[in-house]
């Protein structure tokens, strides 16, 4: 009997499972920063275990944390929110994403999604019964989503527009004029904007991040997610948030209560420390990612591999079409033969079988080693053609 | 200009009463709060030490979607020890609390069935989970005389009528009443004969003196039983939100995949804390149970002395009482909070946590 090929998220988990079996594996797949959580945040968690472990929490999260989140989105994103009614704490960005889709989409409703995009949006849409309407972007344009294409994709069933900037996996950043144009379309066509700002602190060169909800006329129709996972290296703490207008957030709150009740009290206290404490660790990590990005891009240039310039984020989406193989097979061979884990583009979009997503979330020596090994694996693949 | 799209979303929301069911707090919000789901318990120093050590050792990253292997094994062992079931680590998903367990099981196991039979009186989290994405619900009658547990003949009737998935609580989340081993055996037989499945909320089972029969532990247990509950309750982890799903292996992948979509994994710190709690749980539970049983007996006497009807229950951590609107208002006026039976489906009932403040609350009715 032939074994069915894994696809999408299942393929990623199959690869992760295999990677776990190699002692010398170099992980350039999962979006989990190599840095541990900064010490002062861990210290706050320990303090909470002693002094706050039995505190109760409402489904939307502790008010002190919501206040810290409101201050953060004002400072970083220029979004004004009332912590009492316009913030909901979530179990990480992933739950925030799921909740936003559930809050807005009913069966049959369409959401416009610039592609490629993070696979969980498609999974969440499927759960909600919504329909994904793809707007394609291309490496030669550095994966820029063209507002004209978005406008052309609107139908009478369109309810929402997804704006992820910096994007995952393509790492493109929506420019301020394009963001304004996207918002104009949303207002004209009466769409709800689902904004994913999770990589907002990771923008490179002269590119600029703009939060959709910060633009005039946008806040009342925009839900925005973020999380502590990437910026504070807190993936294991499962802490994120959604901010948006009070009326929609009342719905988000009830959905949050329905799917998981609340967020861990210890993670919430750690989150307060992260957002209100010293921020130098965040800058240190951002600087490391800047260096690593350059290192990876230089290596890909030396290998003659094309990519869309990563304007933000923590990864590069590289074109491996020259191998002649589907990205799933390439990822599998790189892992099996060279013990390097990179994510196949096919896991993000059925139309991206020629791409690999490589993160730069490992120390520089590991990245150099990983890229050398990938070079060997790809040379072997090409030699066999 | 007002958004018509937003107005439509909000209109849908307003009409969804199930989604708006209020949930009890995870633990008491103040000293007179008697309505919380979880016990207010001290956190053992060894749990703090273990969780701290894990964090300092760099356990601050994603872990496996279904949970860390050692905790999955510990949960399986605890269930097997308490109920004579035969779970292994591979049967366990560590959830971010029992509400996530309810949601994942109702939604993902429910996808495989045309309808789901649910007691007319259940924890409001069940209604809430159903409110996210509606399922065809068949209501099972549940009366106060049997602690709001649906009678066996009613279960047999809906199964005979074609319903192949049940959601049952034992003990009841409102009254604490638990099915006897004979009743559990009878339910098992009905399910087995029809090839039907069940989601079994056994979260309050640790608080039944002398143990509590579970559907997954009957001698001839049907194979399609999924058990849910809080992980190691009474060890001070109620606000950490950590629960479990114990399910046949072939049902795990769909729930694991949905868990990945919803949350990736459960908080690492909470998992390491729960792992340590697993080794302290049984001793702490026995001690707590004996204290609770003594106190519950005093509260029952106090309630009877005031002419209040106590709904029969077996779990020692809660007590359901029939009270008039006037008495409920009097309690609120005295600053006491309680779980309102209306949100469970029993409007004239209140649920109190068993602790010394409950005695004080009853005195406030004088």
Pairing label, strands B165-169, B137-140: unpaired
Whether B50 maps to a domain, the answer reads no
Nearest chain B CA: its distance from A303 CA (Å): 32
- Residue A181 burial (C-beta neighbours within 10 Å; 0-12, 13-18, 19+): middle
C-beta neighbour count of A321 within 10 angstroms: 16
Q: Is A87 helix (H, G, I), strand (E, B) or coil?
A: strand
Q: Which of B280, B297, B318 is the last residue of a domain?
A: B280
Contact B191, B164 (CB under 8 A): no
Q: Which residues of A touch B53 (CB under 8 A)?
A: none
Instruction: Give, as one character, the DSSP assignment of residue A38.
Output: P
Q: How far is CA B285 from CA A218, B41, B48, B281, in A?
A: 53, 11, 18, 6
B294/B221 same-domain check: no
From the list A42, A190, A255, which residue is nearest B5 (CB)? A190
Residue pointed to by tokens 């995009």? A117
Query: Is B4 in Cβ contact with A258 (below 8 Å)?
Result: no
B232/B88 same-domain check: yes
One fold for both A8-30+281-384 and A53-276?
no
Read off the pLDDT of residues A209-224 as tens digits, 9 standing for 90 and up. Answer: 999 999 999 999 999 9
C-beta neighbour count of A373 within 10 angstroms: 18
* Residue A238 pLDDT grade (very low, low, confident, very high; cuts 50, 70, 90): very high
Contact B11, B229 (CB under 8 A): no
What pLDDT is attached to residue A348?
A: 87
∠ CA A35-A38-A41 to the nearest 5 degrees?
140
Kindly list the domain boundaries of chain A, sorted by start residue: 8-30+281-384, 53-276
Residue B307 in contact with partner chain A when CB distance is under 8 A: no
B81/B71 same-domain check: yes
Beta bridge partners of B230: B243
Q: Which of B263, B280, B297 is the last residue of a domain?
A: B280
Read off the pLDDT of residues A16-25 as tens digits, 9 standing for 90 and up. Answer: 889 989 999 9
CATH code of the domain covering residue B234: 3.40.640.10
Q: Chain-centre distance of CA A43, in angstroms?
A: 27
Measured torsion, CA atoms of residues B79, B81, B86, B87, in degrees rounded to the nearest 10: 40
B275/B296 same-domain check: no
Beta bridge partners of B351: B320, B339
Residue A4 has pLDDT above 60, yes or no: no
Query: Is A13 in Cβ contact with B239 (below 8 Å)?
Result: no
Whether B21 maps to a domain, the answer reads yes
Q: Which of B280, B308, B330 is the last residue of a domain?
A: B280
Q: Which residues of B touch A261 (CB under 8 A)?
A: 23, 26, 96-100, 125, 241
From the list A55, A123, A266, which residue is nearest B269 (CB)? A266
Of A148, A147, A153, A171, residue with least CA distance to A112: A153
Residue B63 in contact with partner chain A when CB distance is under 8 A: yes
Distance (Å, rounded) from C-alpha A165 to C-alpha B233?
42
Query: Is A259 in Cβ contact with B240 (below 8 Å)?
Result: no
Contact B239, B38 (CB under 8 A): yes
Q: Which residues of B touch A30 (CB under 8 A)?
A: 62
B-proximal residues of A, 285-344, CB under 8 Å: none
Nearest chain B CA: its distance from A33 CA (Å): 8
Q: Which CATH architecture has domain A53-276?
A: 3-Layer(aba) Sandwich (3.40)
A-proximal residues of B, 260-299, CB under 8 Å: 260-270, 273
Residue A250 in contact with partner chain B when CB distance is under 8 A: yes
Q: Which residues of B touch A190 (CB under 8 A)?
A: 3-5
Query: Is A37 in Cβ contact with B5 (below 8 Å)?
Result: no
CATH code of the domain covering residue B32: 3.90.1150.10
What range does the domain containing B116 cover? 57-280
B177/B241 same-domain check: yes
Read off the pLDDT of residues A296-305 as tens digits, 9 standing for 90 and up. Answer: 999 999 999 9
B183/B276 same-domain check: yes
B35/B146 same-domain check: no
Contact A352, A21 (CB under 8 A): no
Q: Which CATH architecture has domain A8-30+281-384?
A: Alpha-Beta Complex (3.90)
Q: Which residues of A touch B254 (CB under 8 A)?
A: none
Q: Which residues of A touch B20 (CB under 8 A)?
A: 254
Read off the pLDDT of residues A149-196 as tens digits, 9 standing for 90 and up. Answer: 999 999 999 999 999 999 999 999 999 999 999 999 999 999 999 999
Read off the pLDDT of residues A270-315 as tens digits, 9 standing for 90 and up. Answer: 999 999 999 999 999 999 999 999 999 999 999 999 999 999 999 9
From the list B100, B240, B258, which residue is nearest A265 (CB)? B240
Distance (Å, rounded) from C-alpha B68 to C-alpha B218?
28
Q: Which residues of A touch B40 (CB under 8 A)?
A: 54
Mean pLDDT of chain A: 94
Whether B52 maps to a domain, the answer reads no
Query: Is A102 in Cβ contact with B56 (below 8 Å)?
Result: no
Of A341, A381, A315, A380, residue with least CA distance to A24: A341
Residue B131 in contact with partner chain A when CB distance is under 8 A: yes
What pLDDT is attached to residue B269?
A: 96
Nearest chain A CA: its distance from B183 CA (Å): 30
Query: Is A37 in Cβ contact with B241 (below 8 Å)?
Result: no
Contact B32, B335 (CB under 8 A): yes
B205/B342 same-domain check: no
What pLDDT is attached to residue A2?
A: 38
Query: Is B263 in Cβ contact with A262 (below 8 Å)?
Result: no
The sign of the torsion formed by the CA atoms of A301, A302, A306, A307 equals negative
Which residue on chain B is closest to A160 by alpha carbon?
B5
Query: Is A59 in Cβ contact with B132 (below 8 Å)?
Result: no
Per-residue pLDDT of chain B in tens (366 residues, 90 and over written 9): 689 999 999 999 999 999 999 999 999 999 999 999 998 888 999 999 999 999 999 999 999 999 999 999 999 999 999 988 889 999 999 999 999 999 999 999 999 999 999 999 999 999 999 999 989 999 999 999 999 999 999 999 999 999 999 999 999 999 999 999 999 999 999 999 999 999 999 999 999 998 898 998 866 666 799 999 999 999 999 999 999 999 999 999 999 999 999 999 999 999 999 999 999 999 999 999 999 999 999 999 999 999 999 999 999 999 999 999 999 999 999 999 999 999 999 999 999 999 999 999 999 999
Residue B119 in contact with partner chain A when CB distance is under 8 A: no
Q: Which residues of B touch A159 (CB under 8 A)?
A: 5, 9
What pLDDT is attached to residue A3?
A: 44
Whether B247 maps to a domain, the answer reads yes
B185/B238 same-domain check: yes
Number of domains observed in the structure of chain B: 2
Nearest chain A CA: its distance from B169 CA (Å): 18
Query: Is B270 in Cβ contact with A257 (below 8 Å)?
Result: no
A-proximal residues of B, 70-99, CB under 8 Å: 96-99
B-proximal residues of A, 4-63, CB under 8 Å: 9-10, 13, 30, 32, 36-37, 42, 45-46, 49-50, 53-59
Radius of gyration of chain B (CA): 20
B186/B307 same-domain check: no
Which residue on chain A is closest to B57 by alpha carbon?
A36
From the list A92, A192, A262, which residue is nearest B264 (CB)? A92
Residue A359 in contact with partner chain B when CB distance is under 8 A: no
Distance (Å, rounded) from C-alpha A20 to C-alpha A335?
11
Of B124, B219, B119, residue with least CA distance to B170: B119
B27/B65 same-domain check: no
Q: Which residues of B touch A94 (CB under 8 A)?
A: 261-264
Whether B319 maps to a domain, the answer reads yes
In order, the DSSP letters of B129-144 are: HHHHS---EEEEP--G
Instruction: Give, as one character, the DSSP assignment of residue A307.
Output: B
B18/B112 same-domain check: no
Residue B318 in contact with partner chain A when CB distance is under 8 A: no
Orientation of helix A265-276 relative to helix A39-51, angle to 10°? 140
């Amino acid at each position: 009997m032939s074994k069915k090929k894994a696809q999408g998220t299942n393929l990623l988990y199959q690869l992760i499972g295999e990677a776990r079996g190699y002692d010398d594996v170099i992980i350039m797949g999962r979006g989990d920063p190599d840095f541990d959580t900064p010490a002062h945040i861990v210290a706050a968690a320990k303090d909470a275990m002693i002094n706050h472990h039995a505190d109760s929490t409402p489904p939307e999260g502790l008010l002190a944390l919501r206040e810290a989140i409101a201050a953060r989105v004002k400072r970083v994103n220029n979004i004004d929110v009332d912590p009492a009614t316009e913030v909901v704490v979530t179990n990480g960005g992933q739950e925030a994403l799921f909740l936003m889709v559930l809050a807005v989409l009913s069966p049959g409703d369409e959401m416009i999604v610039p592609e490629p995009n993070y696979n969980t949006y498609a999974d969440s849409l499927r759960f909600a019964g919504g329909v994904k309407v793809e707007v394609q972007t291309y490496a030669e344009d550095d994966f820029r989503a063209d507002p004209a294409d978005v406008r052309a994709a609107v139908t009478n069933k369109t309810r929402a527009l997804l704006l992820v900037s910096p994007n995952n996996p393509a790492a493109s950043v929506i420019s301020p004029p394009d963001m304004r144009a996207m918002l104009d379309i949303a207002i004209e066509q009466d769409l709800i904007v689902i904004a994913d700002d999770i990589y907002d602190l990771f923008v490179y060169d002269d590119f600029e991040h703009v939060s959709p909800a910060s633009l005039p006329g946008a806040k009342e129709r925009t839900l925005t997610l973020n999380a502590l996972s990437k910026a504070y290296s807190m993936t294991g703490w499962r802490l994120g948030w959604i901010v948006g207008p009070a009326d929609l957030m009342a719905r988000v709150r009830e959905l949050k209560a329905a799917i998981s009740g609340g967020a861990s009290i210890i993670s919430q206290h750690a989150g307060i420390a992260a957002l209100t404490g010293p921020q130098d660790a965040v800058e240190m990590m951002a600087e490391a990612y800047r260096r690593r990005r350059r290192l990876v891009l230089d290596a890909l240039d030396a290998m003659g591999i094309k990519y869309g310039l990563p304007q933000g984020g923590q990864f590069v989406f590289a074109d491996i079409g020259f191998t002649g193989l589907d990205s799933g097979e390439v990822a599998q061979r790189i892992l099996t033969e060279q013990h390097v884990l990179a994510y196949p583009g096919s896991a993000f979009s059925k139309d991206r079988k020629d791409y690999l997503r490589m993160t730069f979330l490992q120390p520089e020596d590991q990245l150099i080693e990983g890229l050398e090994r990938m070079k060997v694996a790809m040379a072997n693949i090409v030699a066999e053609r | 200009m007002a958004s018509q799209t937003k107005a439509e979303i909000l209109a849908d929301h307003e009409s969804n009463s199930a989604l708006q069911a209020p949930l009890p707090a995870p633990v008491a919000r103040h000293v007179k709060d008697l309505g919380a789901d979880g016990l207010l318990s001290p956190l053992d120093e060894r749990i703090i030490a273990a969780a701290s050590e894990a964090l300092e050792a760099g356990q601050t990253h994603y872990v496996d979607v279904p949970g860390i292997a050692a905790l999955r094994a510990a949960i399986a062992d605890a269930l097997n020890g308490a109920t004579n079931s035969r779970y292994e680590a591979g049967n366990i998903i560590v959830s971010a609390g029992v509400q996530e367990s309810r949601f994942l099981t109702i939604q993902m196991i429910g996808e495989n069935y045309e309808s789901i039979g649910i007691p007319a009186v259940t924890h409001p989290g069940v209604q809430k989970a159903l409110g996210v994405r509606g399922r065809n619900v068949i209501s099972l009658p549940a009366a106060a005389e049997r602690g709001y547990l649906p009678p066996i003949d009613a279960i047999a009737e809906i199964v005979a009528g074609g319903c192949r998935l049940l959601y049952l609580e034992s003990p009841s989340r409102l009254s604490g009443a638990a099915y006897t081993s004979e009743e559990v055996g009878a339910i098992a037989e009905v399910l087995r004969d029809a090839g039907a499945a069940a989601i079994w909320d056994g979260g309050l089972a640790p608080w039944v003196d002398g143990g509590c029969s579970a559907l997954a532990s009957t001698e001839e247990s049907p194979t399609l039983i999924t058990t849910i509950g809080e992980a190691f309750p009474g060890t001070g982890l109620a606000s950490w939100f950590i629960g479990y799903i114990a399910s046949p292996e072939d049902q795990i992948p769909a729930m694991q995949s949905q868990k990945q979509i919803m949350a990736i994994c459960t908080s690492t710190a909470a998992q390491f804390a729960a792992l340590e709690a697993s080794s302290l749980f049984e001793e702490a539970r026995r001690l707590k149970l004996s204290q609770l049983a003594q106190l519950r007996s005093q509260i029952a006497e106090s309630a009877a002395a005031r002419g209040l009807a106590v709904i029969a229950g077996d779990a020692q951590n809660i007590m359901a009482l029939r009270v008039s609107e006037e008495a409920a208002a009097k309690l609120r006026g005295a600053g006491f909070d309680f779980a309102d039976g209306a949100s469970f489906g029993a409007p004239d009932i209140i649920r109190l946590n068993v602790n010394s403040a409950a005695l004080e609350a009853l005195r406030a009715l004088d």
